[in-house]
C-alpha cells in the first residue's frame, strides 16, 4: 500500500521548503546569468571566458529545469532579468572595468555558495526527483569549481588564506 508520498515522485506534492528552494534557485540563476554575461564583456582572458560560458550554460539549464518544475506544480517563477546590451572590453572605461582576477574570485565564491545551497536542498527534499536534480547541479558546480581553481592557480590569481608553512612539533604525552 502506498500513501500520498509513494509511487512516482512527480505525482507527489512538493513541500513548502522544496517549493521555496526551487523558486529561489531559479531566481538566483537568473541573477547569475545576468552578471555572468556582464563579466564576459569585462573578461580579457580566453580561459576565463570559457569558464564563464560554462557557468552561463549551467545557469540557463537551472532556470529551464526549475521553472518547468515550478510550472508543473502550479507555481509562478521569478521574473527574468532584462538582457544586457553587448559591449566590447575596450569600450569599458578602465576605472569601471572588472579585472580578470576579480571576476575569477567572484565566480569562485558564487560557485562555492551554490554548492552549499544545492546540498541544503538535497537534504531537505522528500521528493526524490527534487533531491536528484540538485545533486546533478551539485556535481556540475563541483566540476566547474575545480576548473576555476585550476585557472586561478595557473594564472597566478589565487589569493590563498593564511598558509601554515611551519608546522608545530607534535607533543608527546
pLDDT of 9 strictly over 80: no
Rounded CA separation 72/135 (Å)? 20
Candidates 39, 10, 61; CA nearest to 110 is 39
pLDDT of 66 strictly over 70: yes
In this prediction, residue 171 carries a pLDDT of: 85
Q: Are the C-beta atoms of 56 and 40 separated by less than 8 Å?
A: yes
pLDDT of 169 strictly over 90: no
Number of other CB atoms surrounding residue 125 within 10 Å:
22
Average pLDDT of span 27-55: 97
Query: Helix, strand, coil proportions of the chain in percent (round to 5)?
Result: 65, 0, 35
In this prediction, residue 6 carries a pLDDT of: 65
Average pLDDT of span 145-164: 95
Predicted confidence (pLDDT) per residue in 73-92, tens digit: 999 999 998 988 999 999 99
In this prediction, residue 136 carries a pLDDT of: 98
Rounded CA separation 92/40 (Å)? 12
Average pLDDT of span 119-140: 97
In this prediction, residue 1 carries a pLDDT of: 42
In this prediction, residue 8 carries a pLDDT of: 77
In this prediction, residue 164 carries a pLDDT of: 85
In this prediction, residue 4 carries a pLDDT of: 60
Amino acid at each position: 500500500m502506498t500513501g500520498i508520498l509513494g509511487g512516482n515522485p512527480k505525482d507527489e506534492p512538493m513541500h513548502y521548503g522544496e517549493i521555496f528552494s526551487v523558486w529561489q534557485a531559479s531566481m538566483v540563476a537568473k541573477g547569475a546569468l545576468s552578471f555572468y554575461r556582464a563579466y564576459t564583456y569585462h573578461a580579457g582572458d580566453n580561459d576565463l571566458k570559457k569558464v564563464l560560458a560554462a557557468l552561463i550554460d549551467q545557469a540557463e539549464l537551472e532556470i529551464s529545469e526549475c521553472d518547468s518544475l515550478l510550472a508543473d506544480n502550479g507555481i509562478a517563477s521569478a521574473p527574468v532579468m532584462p538582457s544586457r546590451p553587448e559591449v566590447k572590453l575596450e569600450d569599458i572605461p578602465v576605472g569601471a572595468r572588472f579585472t580578470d582576477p576579480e571576476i575569477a574570485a567572484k565566480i569562485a565564491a558564487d560557485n562555492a555558495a551554490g554548492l552549499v545551497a544545492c546540498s541544503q536542498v538535497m537534504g531537505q527534499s522528500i521528493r526524490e526527483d527534487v533531491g536528484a536534480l540538485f545533486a546533478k547541479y551539485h556535481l556540475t558546480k563541483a566540476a566547474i569549481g575545480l576548473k576555476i581553481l585550476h585557472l586561478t592557480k595557473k594564472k597566478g590569481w589565487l589569493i590563498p588564506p593564511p598558509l601554515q608553512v611551519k608546522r608545530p612539533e607534535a607533543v608527546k604525552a
